[in-house]
Structure 1
Amino acid sequence: MTTATLSITGQVTIPAAVRAALGLHAGDRIDFIELEKGQFAIVAATKSVSDLEGLLKKPVKPVSIEGMNKAIATTGAGAA
């Protein structure tokens, strides 16, 4: 089991073995996900741009700039 100590300012240094296992580097973001009361999982929240490939599907038919502007105007008008 790997252990870390909480500083007086609420900071924790993530042990090197945990950082390596999660692929974390300086400046990366992490998420704390509650599993059950009193237990959390630490998950790397940083993804590279290449990880986003295939996330969105291409539209069945192309949408013009005018079509996009119309959709934005319509949605924006309904939000007011």
Structure 2
Amino acid sequence: MKTSLVTTKGQVTIPASVRNQLGIHQGDRVGFVYENGKVIILPVIKDIEAAFGLVSASQSASLDDIEQAIQSRGGKL
């Protein structure tokens, strides 16, 4: 069992081996569940907004290009 010291502010350091097993990194959020006398630490699943900016496009389009593409489809999506 890995252990950690509780600070005066109630903070603990999650041991590196546990962080690695959970796949959590600096800045990630974790959740705590109290169940049957035990505390379970879970990584918080990031929502879609957290992924904003992670993917870049291979090409860009101007507003005119987008409008032309819409018109060429008869205004239907």
TM-score when normalising by structure 1: 0.54
Task: Give runs of ≥4 in structure 1 deviating > 4 Å.
Answer: none
Percent identical pairs in the alignment equals 44
Root mean square deviation, CA, Å: 1.3
Report the alpha carbon displacement of residue 46 of structure 1 after superposing the two structures with TM.
3.5
Counterpart residue type for residue 10 of structure 2: G
Alpha-carbon distance in structure 2 between the residues aligned to 1:46 and 1:12: 21
Relative to structure 1, is the Cα distance of residues 44 and 20 closer, same or farther in structure 2, using a 3 angstrom cutoff?
Answer: same
Higher helix share: 1
Alpha-carbon distance in structure 1 between the residues aligned to 2:41 and 2:2: 13
Residue 28 of structure 1 contacts residue 46 of structure 1 at CA under 8 Å; is this kept in 2? no
Larger-gyration structure (1/2): 2
Q: For 1:1-80, what aligned pairs fall within 5 Å after superposition?
A: 1-36=1-36, 38-47=37-46, 49=48
